[in-house]
Chain A
């Protein structure tokens, strides 16, 4: 079971490594989208500091949603997804491995560039630490939920936009506690409660989302 998980996970990483520019597109989107805000809202450091956490979180959410829509698409087209599901391994295992690979390729780089973004938006050191921890806990949730959306919209014409409409309402709690952690630190409070709730959401999503995703995959391939 562990070997099957690892095999799918490493396969997806290898595929991403062979299309490096494609794999880096979500991070590029993240940077471009964030840099629009100072231009649109105005460059006053005080105002930027206030909205920094929200901007970073919203852009991370959108970057995850945009990239996750192709999670199953190429495997579906060349038939390998069907073979994986026929292999006798649990569908939830496959869904979990795919989501983990998506997080490694897309979510982790977002966490890595977040400090840089924080400096651009004049965030304080403590707020930056809170931002990184909240992104570390929160972006896997986005990959897991997004994987479910990708499975539901597999092979549909407007899959990308539809996925955003389906999954964004479900990811609102993550956004609230992720951005809330940074606001709490900014206000001089402890972010512990936010981190606990994010952790609880992560555990719940890790347990439930792969199962729902495997159902969605079987529905789509029937």
Chain B
């Protein structure tokens, strides 16, 4: 029987962690772009747009990410399109991330006083101009800390992509465990790697928060 050293385990896991990072980035960028589009739709005076975004948020915040992953994986296949675990995971995580980001950002936009909208409007700026030049620059400073903080949730959320066969950190851990029969060591390493990925981000988020707090005093 082949002997696995601790180094073998860690090396395999560390290599797999790359895919966790890549998937996280895809989810975050995709979720950010979709979330930003939804935010504009949500803020526009149109009732239909607002209702759509509210429904979207309810749907993706109100169902488990695990179920969303299954639905993306098997649902797209039903349409006759051959899906890879990659596509399904990226899609489900993008939808999930965008539903949370749009709500986080909406809160930040609403933290900007109403008088700022009125100031822009009374100067004949259009909705888009007011949003871009007056509201968003102010909302952005408030948004950085919670947005970075949410990235941690996304990274941990990618672990669920293992269930549809996407080989990232957690899936690799299962495979390594099956080969080594040392689940405690393997999952300890996995936990440690997630922590190493997430902790610096939490620290950055906290620093942004402190900066904002200091600036507001």
Verify that A and B bind, or say they do not: no
